[in-house]
Structure 1
Amino acid sequence: MRCQPRYKLPVYIWLKNKQSCLLCGETTDTPQPICTPCESELPWLVDQCSVCALPLPTPALRCGQCATRPPAFERVVAPWIYDFPVDTLVTRFKHQAKWPLGRLLGELLAQSVQHHFDEGLERPDALVPVPLAARRLRQRGFNQATLLARWLSGPLEIPCEENLLQRVQDTPAQQALDAPARRRNLRHAFALAPGATLRNRHLALVDDVLTTGATAQTLARLLLDAGAARVDVYCLARTPKPGDPA
């Protein structure tokens, strides 16, 4: 006896629907909307500092700066160098609200972070997006770091605490500033949410691009001073050298 009604019309099966690559437009052969050739040609970050992920010409444990002045954060995970086409994808995501591009990058970042977990990287207790200045949030309409943290939270099964950090002071844009000016610019710009308890917690900051590391350093120090045991940084890309615009 048939338990389903007879239906002779074509049935749409969404699992068989093929996607188009967001970079070249060809049909993809991957779960994400990016084809294998385009994914392989992304500027993957290979040789890097084991702490800040600064691209290096040869494999090394630490870059000179991290060896002489270790940062407050423990480890940076970044899949790519901030170069074409990743720089264009990030820019279109942030400044043109092209959310599908950001979602694609976020899913690939989640895969990269999971790979590091499989290789022994300690899993954090929570993901914490870098807060955006109120004026820029009004102009843009969203915080790209918050979206990335949400997109990481599901696949990695790590809670996202998007209100843990607050931007309490608007500051001039960081792009045109050198590293010392960036540090001065960020002084007193951030605060913890009232009543936040961080004792012995391992947290991971989430942002789009790591440039000089001034923002990550400021926030990591704030979290550690409040009782956190460890702070890592998960971002989409690392600039080729400190001070490059992002």
Structure 2
Amino acid sequence: MPAFDLTSLRHLPWLRPRRHCQLCDEPTDHPAHNICTACEAELPWLGAHCQCCALPLPVPGMICGACQNKPPSFSRVEAPWRYAFPVDNLITRFKHQAQWPHGHLLAELLSEHLRHAFDEGLPRPQALLPVPLARRRQRQRGFNQAQMLADWLGSSLDLPVRHDWLLRHLDTPAQQGLDAATRKRNLRQAFSLKQPAQVAGAHLALVDDVLTTGATAGMLAQLLRRAGALRVDVYCLARTPRPGDT
């Protein structure tokens, strides 16, 4: 009597492990992610936004007034969502409560967004650079969420991640809730490049969780451009609207 092949049972649908949506906990048949189609559709997708800094705008295909008056050092921000419920809640739980599966899910969806953008003509960078976290804050948190996002994106998109190119020497005050001018003052002299020669002639992408005023991304992009980078983009999970905008 021939031996029974247990591997054949893997193809039986009722024996496959069932995925559950991380938002509603209902079973999902999504082929790649732990999110159901209903919850994915209800995420706060960015929609019309500034073609440079991704600020939410009422009309698509425009550049916001701030970027027209003073173009930032980065070329383009790519973000799938507005910083609103439930994405804001998932980011907070990932970032401040070490609930890494939420960050991993958002990184997987961001990688899909970026693959689509590359197919539509967005140039692929040569490397990903996570925004460095202040040492004290990283000791308290135990990890750098931007570095984890960059690692997940790099693996999914087959892009190298340069963890040590950007250095942060100063533990600046927390940036949350501060206006753009105060953020810029806090960030002066906070960052440096470990080996500037590696940057010359490169197209690079900064990775972070949320873009608010763009002060940190702008400071890092300026640092990279002064070292000879040809282009710097920013990849993040969410973009905050202007205060008072919905």
Normalised by the length of structure 1, the TM-score is 0.93
- 1:222 pairs with 2:223: yes
Superimposed CA distance per residue, residues 115-156 of structure 1 (whole angstroms, 9 cap, x where no aligned partner): 100000000000000000000000000000000000001121
Query: Following superposition of structure 1 onto structure 2, how do residues 37-52 of structure 1 map, counting pairs within 5 Å?
Result: 37-52=38-53
- Between Structure 1 and Structure 2, the one with more helix by share is 2
Asked if structure 1 preserves the Cα contact closer than 8 Å seen for 2:20 and 2:28, the reply is yes
Q: CA RMSD in A?
A: 2.0
Larger mean CA deviation between 235-244 and 55-64 belongs to 235-244
Asked if structure 2 preserves the Cα contact closer than 8 Å seen for 1:21 and 1:34, the reply is yes
Unaligned runs of 5+ in 2: none
Larger mean CA deviation between 185-194 and 216-225 belongs to 185-194
- Secondary structure (helix, strand or coil) at the match of 1:163 reads coil
Deviation at 1:175, TM superposition (A): 1.1
Partner of 2:171 in structure 1? 170
How many percent of aligned residue pairs carry the same amino acid? 60
- Secondary structure (helix, strand or coil) at the match of 2:198 reads coil
- 1:182 pairs with 2:183: yes
- The change in CA–CA distance for 1:243 and 1:224 in structure 2 (over 3 A counts) is farther
Partner of 2:58 in structure 1? 57
Distance in structure 2 (CA, Å) of the matches to 1:89 and 1:11:
38
Distance in structure 2 (CA, Å) of the matches to 1:176 and 1:138:
22
- 1:7 pairs with 2:4: yes
- Secondary structure (helix, strand or coil) at the match of 2:20 reads coil
Query: Following superposition of structure 1 onto structure 2, how do residues 20-31 of structure 1 map, counting pairs within 5 Å?
Result: 20-30=20-30, 31=32
Deviation at 1:242, TM superposition (A): 6.4
Distance in structure 2 (CA, Å) of the matches to 1:32 and 1:188:
40
Unaligned runs of 5+ in 1: none
Deviation at 1:204, TM superposition (A): 0.1
Aligned length, in residue pairs? 241
Partner of 1:18 in structure 2? 18
Distance in structure 2 (CA, Å) of the matches to 1:167 and 1:32:
34
Counterpart AA for 1:125: Q
- The change in CA–CA distance for 1:72 and 1:22 in structure 2 (over 3 A counts) is same
Distance in structure 1 (CA, Å) of the matches to 2:218 and 2:244:
14
Larger mean CA deviation between 29-38 and 5-14 belongs to 5-14
Runs of 4+ in 1 over 2 A off after TM superposition: 7-16
Partner of 2:154 in structure 1? 153
Distance in structure 2 (CA, Å) of the matches to 1:106 and 1:100:
10
- Secondary structure (helix, strand or coil) at the match of 2:3 reads coil
Partner of 1:201 in structure 2? 202
Deviation at 1:13, TM superposition (A): 3.0
Counterpart AA for 1:166: L
